[in-house]
């Protein structure tokens, strides 16, 4: 009886702790880390790393330069692509694959003076 009770308390404590951590994570907007983005930007370089790059397929379009934009702007743009508020097939696919943390890191990287 005693052990059953204490294990129930332990399970409850774990749940409460998990919930608190979840809330803390949800409230804290992820902090961007430009260093971390260096392992994530390989898929952006193909399009955004080439000055004046224009794709040829499915139609010719200009790829905007993102280096030096403000981190807030980049973050917002990525969120909008992901949410479908901005529509562009390539960026929609890219943004969908990114977590909020990835976006913050990439925004810090491209928006940072180091770039
Ligand atoms: C297949 C090519 C391609 C890839 C890969 C790609 N982008 Fe883009 N990106 C584009 C194009 C084209 C646009 C302009 C779309 C539009 O007109 O809305 C764009 C727009 C953007 C914008 C908005 C710029 C502005 O001035 O409003 C941001 C920010 C951005 N991309 C970030 C990224 C990041 C970060 C990655 C990598 C995770 C990435 N992109 C990968 C082609 C690409």
Mutate to test the pocket of ligand 1, among 48, 57, 77, 106 (most ligand atoms within 8 A of CB): 48
Q: How far is CA 29 from the centre of its chain?
A: 11
Please check whether residue 32 is in contact with residue 102, taking contact to mean a CB–CB distance below 8 angstroms.
no
Please check whether residue 68 is in contact with residue 115, taking contact to mean a CB–CB distance below 8 angstroms.
yes
Cis amide leading into 102 (omega within 30): no
With a 6 Å cutoff on the Cβ, whether 104 touches ligand 1 is no
Please check whether residue 32 is in contact with residue 109, taking contact to mean a CB–CB distance below 8 angstroms.
yes
Tokens 């990835």 sit on residue = 102
**Residue 36, C-beta contacts closer than 8 angstroms, at least 6 positions apart:** 105
With a 6 Å cutoff on the Cβ, whether 37 touches ligand 1 is no
**Residue-level pLDDT, tens digit, the chain, 115 residues:** 666 676 676 766 665 655 555 555 555 678 999 999 989 998 898 888 766 555 655 556 678 888 888 999 999 999 999 999 999 998 999 999 999 999 999 999 998 744 4
Q: CA separation (Å) from 75 to 8, 15, 18, 110? A: 43, 32, 28, 10
Average pLDDT in the chain: 79
């Amino acid at each position: 009886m005693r052990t059953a009770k204490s294990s129930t308390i332990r399970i409850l404590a774990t749940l409460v702790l998990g919930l608190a951590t979840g809330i803390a994570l949800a409230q804290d907007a992820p902090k961007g880390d430009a260093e971390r983005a260096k392992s994530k930007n390989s898929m952006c370089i193909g399009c955004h790393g080439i000055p004046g790059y224009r794709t040829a397929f499915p139609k010719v379009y200009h790829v905007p330069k993102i280096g030096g934009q403000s981190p807030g702007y980049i973050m917002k743009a990525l969120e909008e692509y992901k949410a479908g508020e901005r529509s562009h097939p390539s960026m929609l696919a890219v943004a969908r694959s990114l977590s909020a943390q990835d976006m913050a890191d990439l925004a810090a990287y491209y928006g940072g003076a180091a770039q």
